[in-house]
Structure 1
Amino acid sequence: MRLRLPEERPAEPPTGYKIARPVLSQDGTRAGFTGVSLGGTLPYGVLADASCAYGLRHRAPHRRCDCGFHCVHERAVAEGLLCTTEHRGAVLLHVTVLGAYIRFERGFRYARQRVRTATVGPCACGATAVALADAGWGRPGWRGLGAACAGCVRGRTSLSLAAFARLAGEGLRVVAGEGRPADAFGVPELVAEAALLQARLDWFQTQLARLGQGREGGATAQG
Structure 2
Amino acid sequence: MRLRLPEERPAEPPTGYKIAHPVLSHDGRRAGFTGVSLGGALPYGVLADASCVYGLRHGAPHRRCDCGFHCVHDRTTAEALLCTAEHREAVLLEVVVLGRYIRFERGFRYARQRVRTATVGPCACGAAAAALADAGRGRPGWRVLAPSCAGCVRARSSVSLAAFARLAGEGLRVLAGAEGAPRAAGTGPPAEHLGVPELVAEAALLQARLDWFQTQLARLGEPGGRGGRQG
Report TM bin, short chain.
over 0.9
- The 5 A counterparts of 1:10-49 are 10-49=10-49
| Structure 2 counterpart of 1:195, one-letter code | A
What residue is the counterpart of 2:196 in the other structure?
187
Cα-to-partner distance string for 1:87-112 (whole Å, 9 max, x where unaligned):
11100000000010000010000000
Where do 5+ consecutive residues of structure 1 fail to align? none
Which residue identity is paired with 1:36? V
The aligned residue for residue 190 of structure 2 is none
Once the two structures are superposed, residues 112-160 of structure 1 have per-residue CA deviations (whole angstroms, 9 ceiling, x without a partner) of 0000000000000000001000011101110000000000000001010
Q: Which residue matches 1:216?
A: 228
Residue equivalent to 1:100: 100
Shift of 1:48: 0.3
Identity %: 82
Measured after TM superposition, the shift of residue 206 of structure 1 is 2.3
Residue 85 of structure 1 deviates from its aligned partner by 1.1
1:170 and 2:170 aligned: yes
Are positions 1:135 and 2:135 aligned together?
yes
Greater mean alpha carbon deviation, residues 79-88 or residues 179-188: 179-188
1:196 corresponds to which residue?
Answer: 205
Could you list the structure 1 runs, at least 4 aligned residues long, displaced by more than 6 angstroms after superposition.
none
1:186 deviates by: 3.3
Structure with the largest fraction of helix: 1
CA deviation profile, 1:193-213 (whole Å, cap 9, x unmatched): 111000111112222333444
Question: Structure 2: how far apart are the matches of 1:23 and 1:59?
Answer: 26
TM-score normalised to structure 1 length:
0.95
Corresponding residue number in structure 2 for 1:86: 86
**How many pairs are equivalent?**
219
